[in-house]
Amino acid sequence: GRSDGTGSSLPDCSHACGPCTPCKRVMVSFKCSVAESCPIVYRCMCNGRFYHVPSK
C-alpha cells in the first residue's frame, strides 16, 4: 500500500555495526532509584560494543 513514511518503527540492527557482525538489537536501561521509572533505549551491539540505532 501507499505510505508516507511517518510514525516510527523498531530499529533494525542487521547492518548497524559497520564491519562488525553479528549486530543485535539490545535494550539498555539507566540505573535509577526505585521511586523513578527507568528510561529504556535501544542500542545495537556487536562484540560487546554499542552502536547507535539507525535513524528513520
Does position 34 bind other proteins by CB under 8 A? Answer: no
Closer CB to other proteins, residue 27 or residue 47?
27
CA atoms within 13 Å, Cβ hemisphere of 27: 5
Smallest distance, other proteins to C-beta of residue 37, A: 14
Assign residue 48 a region (left: φ > 0; alpha: ψ between -120 and 50; beta: otherwise).
left
- Specify the DSSP element, H or E, that contains 43: strand 40-46
Does position 37 bind other proteins by CB under 8 A? Answer: no
Smallest distance, other proteins to C-beta of residue 47, A: 14
